Structure 1
Amino acid sequence: MATIAAVVNKAVADDKSVLLFYRAQSGQLGLSLQSGTGQEDQPAGTWETGSDDYEGYIMSPSHMAATYYRGVHLVAAVTMPKLAEGEEVVDHRNISLVSPVYQTLTTTTLDFNRIAMCAKPDGDEGWLYYYDGTNPDQRNLKEFSLMTGTSTAYDQVVYSIKPSSSLAAWYNPDMKTRHVVFQGSSIMEYVVGDLQIIPIVAAYKASIPIAAVYSSVTKKAYVYYIDVNNAIQRIPKVGSTWMTPEMVTVNAPPIAEGSQLTVVNANGYNHLFYVPKDSGSSNGTKAASFSSFTHFVDEIS
C-alpha cells in the first residue's frame, strides 16, 4: 500500500509549500516538498531514511494522516510495537506520531489500519480518528483528542461502517463542527456528536481511498473518491447540502490500487496526491519512491 499524507507548510508564507509525507521502502517516514500554488515552483527537496538506518516501524498496509497543531506539523501512522528479543508478535497495533517525534498515542486491535486527522485552522485543537473493536466484521469509530490525550467512542456509527472502509475528516471553522467520512451502504458523513449519519453518494468502487478538505475561501467542503470506473470524483458540500458528484478531469491519471489519496487546500486549489496506476506500484503492496507520486492541482470555485 502506498501510504501518504499531506499538510500545508505554515512555516512558508502564503501557503506556497506543501509537506508530503510517505512510507518509504524501508518502512520509515519520507518527506517530499511540494508546491502549494498552481505552478510547480517548489524547490526540489526529499528526505528518506537509508537502508542501513534504524529498522522501519510504519506498518504496511497502513494509512497515514497529518495536521497542523499548535505550531507543529504532526504526522500519525499505524505502527508495530517494538518487540523484545524472543517476544512473539502482539495482537494489537499502535497508532503513533511518527513526526516530529515518535510517540504512541493510542492502540487498536486486529488489523484496523485506517486513520484520519483534522484540526482547527489556528491549530489550537486537533483530533485523530481511527477504528477499533474485537469483531473483524465490525468497526467502532473512535476519536483521540490531541489536547486531552483521551479517546471517545461513537457507538452510533458502529453498524454503518464496512470492514474495508477508509476514513477522512475535516473541521468546519464557520460551523465549528468536526466531520468524518467513511464507507457503508454509501459514502457517508458523520458530524461528530450528532445522531445523524448522512449518505453522500451510493455508486462507488469497493475498498477505495477517500479524502476530504474544507476551503475557508469557498466555504465548501470537498470529498474525493474513486467511482466504479476508477475515475476520481469530487463532491462539494454547500452549507448542509451535498451537491452532485463531478469528475475531477479526464486528464487526472487513474489511481493505483492500494494507494492512499490525500488532499490539502492552498491558494485557491485543492492539491491531491496519490500513486498513479502506471507507476509500477499498482498492486498496492510496495511503497513508492517520492518521484512516483502524482500531484494533481484541482481548481475549485
Structure 2
Amino acid sequence: MRYGARGEAFGVLKRAYSYLRDGRWHLVTGYKVGELASEWVSQIQFDPQLVGYVEGAPPVPSENLTAGLTDPSSGTFEGASSVQLTEAEEVVRSLSCAKERSVDAAFGFALSNEVDVDVWMITAPLGFGIAKAIAKAIAKGGVSASVRGNLEFSNSWAEETAVSQGENTARTTKVVLTGNWEDPARLLNPATGRRYVPANTGFAVVQSQTADVFALRLAHSGALVAYRIQPNPDIPKDWNVIPFPINPRYTKQGTLDGTVGFDQRGTVAVPDYQGARDRGEYSYFKPREAYALKRRIQRDRQRLHSF
C-alpha cells in the first residue's frame, strides 16, 4: 500500500515465486494479480505511554451491599463510592512597558557693589608721625548696590502600559463504583444474602498516537486481502483512558481484608484469599505498605522543610 500524489491510499497485489537450486535462492517477482482498492475502516491508538492510573473506586465491603438494603430487581449500589483526581495548570503571559520623562531647569543671578571712603588727618612735622582721626577733618562716604534674580522650571511625565493573558486548564479523572448482583444460585455467603459485587477494574491514563486502519480489497472482486495500519501524521499525541482488570490477588473490590462477613462457622474468605482466616495482609488491608508510604511522605516533607 502506498499514497498517491493527492494523498489517497492505494495498493497493488503481486505474486512472487521463490525456490532453491544448487544451494542458491531464486526469487521471481513482478506477477501482478490485481489493483487493490483502499477502504478506510477506523482509527486506533498505538505507542501508549503510561501517565498515571487509578485502581478503581474507593473500596466498599460487599457484605454491606446486600439485597436487604435495596431491591436487586430495581436498584443497585452504583456510585456508592467515588474518587476524583483534578490536575490544574495555570499559565500567565504578561507584557509591560514603562516610560518616564523629566525636565528640570534652574537659573540664578546676583550682582553687588559697595564703596566706602575714610579721610584722615596726618601730622608729621619731622617726616614721620601718627595718623589720627580728627573729627573736623574726617570725611566718610559709602555707596551700595545689589541685584538678585532666580528662575526655576520643572516638567515630569510618566506612561505605563501592561497587557496580560492567562490560561487555566483542569483535567479531571473520576471513577465511581460499578458492578453486578451476585448470582442467587451461587452465593458466597448465604448468611449475608445476595451481595452487590463491585467490578474489579482500574483505569490507566495514557498518551498515545493515532493510526488509520485500511482494508485492502481486490478492485475487480472486492475480496479482502489484508488490513494495513498507517500512522496519521496530522493528529498529535492525545490523552486516552484505558480500563484494565486488576489482579484479584493484589486487591479485590468488595472485600477489604479478604473476607465477606461471617457465617455459623466463622469468617467467610473470598476464593482469591483462602488464607484470609489467618493473620496477614489481604486485598486492601496492607498496613506495612500504608505505613511505608506514610514514612516516605514524612521524609519528603522533612527534606522539603530543610531545603
Larger radius of gyration: 2
**TM-score normalised per structure 2:** 0.19
**TM-score normalised per structure 1:** 0.20
Q: Which has the higher helix share?
A: 2
